[in-house]
Structure 1
């Protein structure tokens, strides 16, 4: 059998090829393009001439069958009469794609007459995934087991070269010798008709080079987590006598669950088995193998390397993740010289977010010019990084459970436990236990330790610990003070993340399983509440200021908007943008979505718009409601909605709460009494009471049916009352307030609805600058956003 293989000459992305090709021999195909981040191109390496381009659907089906990719049983189920298919080959191919019988990639090749090579042994080639150091990588599927794998294929022209084949087989031997969750596994090595290919574990995710391009520099806690997992994989490889020799961001894959896997063993070799040394035999002598930006000095000088060369490259990779670029710049010769002579630049002097000096010191030691001055093993690297790693509850449940204060204290994590509270002997013992626990944790994959790509940080719980500030530096912190009685276990606040800008809104899904927040630098941050450690981030729009977010009641979508932006809806699971609505002129300040599929938006233009969420159609628009409308909310039965306003045309029209009927659009009530702008309003669970928060510092309760004020609570005297929300039983409500001129003057408070009496109050550093709040559906905790760029979780215990 003769093969026609495809070699990817563009960036390695998880998409499909465009309709443009290098060889110019193929016609442009009128396929609807799929969304890809950027185009990549394919070039055909032919061992024989392609078949004639199909002119009819019959011709196309003949080539599809010759290719071996068609499942005849599925074809018969979809098309009992092949005559039903369009006669035009392109339209016929589209029908096969829609039925799942062909992939877009397969259809493009067959339409161009290139049907050979779409099946290799027992595997169908579905599409290219990218290109490794020694070959092209395809998405493949076993023809009978239907298991998807990655197929790394040595190009046909390389298969004629002894050096290329030997290096390819060396990669197979190196990968086959390893079995570790942080290294991509090899299933099989195959050969047929002059084609060599490896059958490898399919890893769905993105490499860290791509991640950096999308998000910019990572927060140091995120980067350390990734590097520690890579070090765990390297420790396993080194224990087998194998050195990777090409560690870099592009060869570290972040999986969907936040784990890290080492890719591409194309340059790996055994430093204990001389039979694996191809240097002299195959012309590698004198070559500085590896990637110049991350290569160790001894590797740059083509000297013998051992595991310490990987540790140098891992240090350069850590620097790159933190800085957003490799440690050295210049021409190839200049970079090589700096690797041999120049220490890595101090990150804390070059970044907006400070990196602890001790972490700078760790990078400097990893990148020491002399091998003897570096850490001597990957285990030692993990030990050195341990102060910035969270300690798991246990290796068996790390992915299911978030950390607690007790976990951290029992683990003896130095950066999270007050040094004055433990004696020297006990502290040393606990630290040793923590290091051992972390090693075990990372050795089993450590996926749940990965944190958000824009600076998500699992933080420390309050109570005599150290907190991590928004700037990323270790700084003393104290827990919020609680009035009426001392704080009990479980009432501490937990830092969920620090962002790059003020966090004006947070939200939780109706079932409490999902979380989202937005910041003023244009980031949407989201994830599942089952594990606050694993969050994702999207840069919604460059230069945008995001103001608000809200989840759809079914938990499928998160809606966000801000200043000068449209209103976007994203898939809450995948992060894909699925809908777009017009934004308000100036700023969109609040959004809300009902169970029946209606979307409300309001903004600084004084308007309210009601949309059909599914179609994007405008149902109704309210203009001139006020000079600015701060918030909107649906009633529990969705028959009504409420809006809160700032100044109106007259004093009587200012600082109001207005109630409308959703079905008719008619106004039902106006609630007046606040003396300053009304920032927020929310319905009680039974829909009979309305609670509002105002910049006059008060929280007020209103009878919805009668339109009368029933209680005034002086909730945040001298401050702005920013948010208010009922707990699920309707008997208590929570509010947060802050002083824009003094962020230290801020608090989170809980009130008894019947009496207006304070139940709990949290103040202190953890409560600085609170401006957003969402309560969990079970009423056990609140999530807040702040001017201090932090999102915190507050546990309630009544």
Structure 2
């Protein structure tokens, strides 16, 4: 390297700089150069000049990339199918140069950009065609385009060079890097298959042998990176790709996106904007704290989170938003996977829990050590009972049957009664919601309720003092609070709505209005993505602005039957909201409130409720027939399984038969944030009953100790139940039942 200033590292020569750009340098030289860039006032401009003279930089051996490119040659009809979408209306492509022809989104160097494959925080990935040989590739470009900062350009380039330096079949290859029209990009082979986020959403928990195989392949790729002193820092299902079987006829897991990778001498921390680096649900505790040096153990913890999800079908750290996820990480109470899936052998269960140890020192020492454990031939073997234990157990069972009588064997297992940890008096409450404080000095949890006279009350915790703060001139039926926008909606029995902005004191927005609909109110939900309230009355749904509090639209989708409930937005499955109807149908709506699908889920008209798991893996449909159907939620086109709910009658005194009871009418159904437990509120012979249910084991976990509950609401990790008498019951240990 050429000499620089007295205290700075020497500047690289032109040849060394060219090697770095072309990926011909080793990882140590590249990292040394990136540190130098942060201090040198000259080299950033030299780097830009070199890139502008070199539109693309392909590997030294072009034949090395040819098999990957030629394997994706495609016919014109297949290409037409791939391009059958309008990405210009979906993504902001203003950073791209003007397209050379109408069917192209833009062109960078020799690559015609045909459609968007995906987009992240910094980069956008395109399906591109190399105009030199007409082959299809994937091209990742920096979204800021020519206006990108030097730091962003350096980080983007480092991702390509880091990936290029790891020569392993489990790491996606970089075919070239370049710059065109001021936009930096790198080129990769076009992958066939899907990422694990989509795979798990489509299939749910995977077979044990497959889980071990996929984990082993991912660990092999991690070991190759760790051998070079490179730590990924963002292992998650969407960054693991399952490549379709190739010539060898075997699936291959690929490790994607080294955009957050760092070398072993660096330390992780809070960025200048105060954001922890990584994806919250898969962060190791040391990453979440932002204080410890990151090493192989952090990547292994994140891989353990993915392994857990492949086994169980839900995340280790549940939560519907970042704050909830960080709460669960801080609490660090991990339920072993064999609690949800009994066939998981003890050795595999222990391996998962060791990967998820809070202390890095208690995890496997390296990816190589993990691979050794995964290769254990006894990993998937269940221990065998010896003959003496089997014989003894058989004798005990036989004696028990003779002594107790056959009828006791067929009696239902008892459902544990979960008692509340706190009971609050909310006089006259007929509707309630959980909110937050009004100002910085009072930012704790707040209980809000309404009484029959339309008076609105609040109680701040933990002082538990009730205060009246407003009134509406109609009979309240539902309260809905949007934490994202600090807005309270009071919904009346016949579709009236009054919206309050929750600030130093509640401020009413607009005036009370009643939607021009026929029928009584059945449900209301906040669509936080668009800051609006959806209210169901009769056969119609009215839409209210959270900004102005006014009625903006009425959706009349020709249901032909009254709407019974609304399920809010789940972007992962591509729908804006879902409605259930009394005739057993479900309707799916897009962002523009257009009915895109209407389907019968319950054959005979019956009361039913729908819940979509937070990660979009499946949708649960609970009907009054006493069964729960689990559907693929995108279009409800595939029934995954059906569970018959276990009997919920408590055991009677010895010798007395269980009474015959009316079926439980579904009233409310939702998942816990992690998706492992369903919370159920039903009505039996005019009285409410509430349960916690594990859909994987088909077991009633607990019955809530509340007489005649009328409403349940969750603020993880707390569950609140309002009874008909106006008392509010807190269950702050309800996740322990699962």
TM-score range, shorter chain: 0.3 to 0.5
| TM-score normalised per structure 1 | 0.35
| TM-score normalised per structure 2 | 0.38
